[in-house]
Amino acid sequence: MKNAFLAKYPIILLFFFLLSLISCTEEDFKGSKSNDEQELSNLRNELQKISDQVACTNASDWRIVPIGAKPCGGASSFIAYSINIDAVEFLKKVEVYNNKQKAFNVKWGMSSDCAVIVGPKSITCENGKPKLNF
């Protein structure tokens, strides 16, 4: 019975489908910018939390990785991580974060000053935390 109705009235179905598309806004298709920003913020906080797991007592046990993506290209900042964590897993999460920020920039048409950010020259330990020296 149901299939017979669909076969007899394809124009009606097409009409309702088109009506539903017209009633959707661009945001319905793209999602919410604030939700995307929150997801990025959560990922960044997770990375910082992982970095903070190890106290900085010996600067030679720490490395620096670029993080984020400016709309014009290049990193938006840098984060230090200890070699005493699962560095491979940490760097994978940084890559996920960077790719999500690149996608966010494209999706929402972001722009920036396009200034190149100079990376840190070294790391020192201060009060158990790594300090990036520029």
**pLDDT tens-digit series, residues 15-73:** 555 555 555 454 455 689 999 999 999 999 999 999 999 999 999 999 999 999 999 99
Residues near 97 by beta carbon (within 8 Å), at least 6 away in sequence: 40, 43, 44, 47, 67, 68
The pTM score is: 0.77
Q: What is the mean pLDDT of the chain?
A: 88
**In 1-134, which ranges are E strands?**
62-67, 77-82, 122-126, 129-133
In contact, 93 and 47? CB cutoff 8 Å: yes
What per-residue confidence (pLDDT) applies to 31? 85
Determine phi and psi for 132, rounding to 5 degrees: -85, 130
Token pair of 3 as six digits: 């299939």
